[in-house]
């Protein structure tokens, strides 16, 4: 198992990876609460980016509506916890089932009716928007007034109910990200991963060599949706409040795809690097502007937009593939 994981990873890359993991593991002892929340945000984006990357980076299906899976995961576990006292760990199974079913339905309809390219992307937006307005009118979960998880003043963290201090959420998000990377690493190097890449590169050719493209595209959507729903669970229990306008918003869908594209589509480390860079950039801008005494709402986002524009113009493949070559991390292949 370990040997298989280490396949195609050069020694330098492996050492760098172990050092990075160690640093992240001990980080809470040195980081203050602010830095910890920034790191949690980074891992949230790294994880969702990884999940989205399965669909777009590996199988080549552009989804711009992943907010629907965030929202379904968040609402499912939040309702089960608040109304029925079900632990989020158990509720996650329901969340995964819910998101996987929706993903399967969207994927089935889209691929059966041959909705591709830009049209597929817009179809995913349509479903997410439909869900947003639907949840706005679902009085069972509070509608547009929002849904709130019970919050008490916890002095210590309760892992079973996910009520507690940032440090618990830090390790949870770190664990989720590592698990996602390992899972993706295994999938990419499996038969499934090669089928996906074949579909991504040339769907006609993939079909011609006998790959059931419909089936493997559907699998990509279902896995991606199921993984994204867990980010929704995290979202619900970390923030403790859910508004359809926020959870299902198109902005949610867009922000989670920036990191993988920025970092490098279809790479394992791209989404993580992208999350670090983009979240780091946003936070640096906040503190810099505050230090300079600039208190203009929107100024930070304008700089953020300009940086995004510059990087996508200069490095269209993303930062990681470029850095990878620069650092000489390439092993035998890749």
What is the binding site for other proteins (CB under 8 A)? 56, 62, 64, 109-110, 113-115, 117-119, 121-123, 125-127, 129-130, 133-134, 136-137, 144, 250-251, 254, 257-258, 261-262, 265, 296-302, 304-306, 308-309, 312-313, 316
Q: 137-149: string of b/e by CB count within 10 Å (b at 16+)?
A: eeeebbeeeebeb
Neighbours of 308 (CB within 10 A): 15
User: Would you say 210 or 297 has its CB closer to other proteins?
Assistant: 297
Smallest distance, other proteins to C-beta of residue 311, A: 9
Helix (H) or strand (E) holding 214: helix 213-239
Are 312 and 262 a contacting pair, CB within 8 Å? Answer: yes
DSSP state, 241?
A: E
Smallest distance, other proteins to C-beta of residue 281, A: 13
User: Would you say 129 or 167 has its CB closer to other proteins?
Assistant: 129
Smallest distance, other proteins to C-beta of residue 121, A: 7
Of 68, 56, 80, 54, the closest CA to residue 141 belongs to 80
User: Would you say 182 or 254 has its CB closer to other proteins?
Assistant: 254
Q: Which residues contact 303 (CB under 8 A, 6 or more apart)?
A: 285
Smallest distance, other proteins to C-beta of residue 49, A: 13
Smallest distance, other proteins to C-beta of residue 219, A: 21
Are 53 and 275 a contacting pair, CB within 8 Å? Answer: no
User: Would you say 140 or 154 has its CB closer to other proteins?
Assistant: 140
User: Would you say 183 or 317 has its CB closer to other proteins?
Assistant: 317
């Amino acid at each position: 198992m370990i040997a298989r994981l280490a396949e195609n990873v050069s020694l330098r890359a492996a050492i760098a990876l172990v050092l990075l993991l160690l640093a992240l593991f001990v980080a809470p002892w040195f980081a203050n609460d602010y830095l910890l929340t920034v790191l949690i945000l980074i891992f949230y984006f790294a994880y969702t980016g990884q999940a989205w990357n399965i669909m777009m980076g590996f199988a080549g299906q552009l989804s711009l509506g992943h907010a629907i899976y965030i929202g379904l995961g968040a609402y499912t576990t939040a309702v089960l916890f608040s109304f029925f006292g079900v632990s989020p760990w158990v509720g996650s199974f329901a969340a995964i089932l819910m998101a996987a079913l929706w993903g399967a339905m969207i994927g089935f309809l889209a691929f059966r009716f041959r909705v591709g390219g830009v049209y597929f992307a817009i179809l995913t937006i349509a479903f997410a928007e439909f869900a947003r307005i639907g949840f706005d009118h679902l009085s069972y979960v509070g509608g547009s007034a929002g849904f709130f998880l019970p919050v008490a003043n916890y002095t210590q963290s309760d892992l079973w109910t996910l009520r507690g201090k940032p440090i618990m959420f830090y390790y949870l998000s770190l664990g989720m990200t590592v698990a996602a990377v390992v899972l993706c690493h295994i999938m990419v190097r499996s038969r499934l991963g090669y089928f996906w890449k074949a579909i991504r590169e040339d769907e006609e050719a993939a079909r011609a060599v006998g790959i059931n493209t419909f089936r493997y595209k559907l699998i990509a959507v279902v896995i991606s949706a199921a993984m994204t729903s867990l980010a929704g669970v995290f979202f619900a229990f970390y923030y403790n409040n859910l508004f359809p306008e926020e959870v299902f918003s198109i902005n949610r869908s867009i922000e989670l795809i920036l990191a993988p594209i920025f970092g490098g589509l279809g790479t394992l480390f791209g989404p993580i690097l992208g999350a670090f860079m983009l979240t780091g950039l946003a936070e640096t801008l906040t503190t810099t502007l505050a230090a300079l005494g600039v208190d203009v709402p929107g100024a930070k986002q304008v700089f953020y937009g300009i940086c995004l524009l510059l990087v996508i113009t200069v490095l269209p493949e993303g930062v990681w593939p470029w850095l990878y070559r620069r650092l000489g991390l390439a092993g035998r292949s890749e």
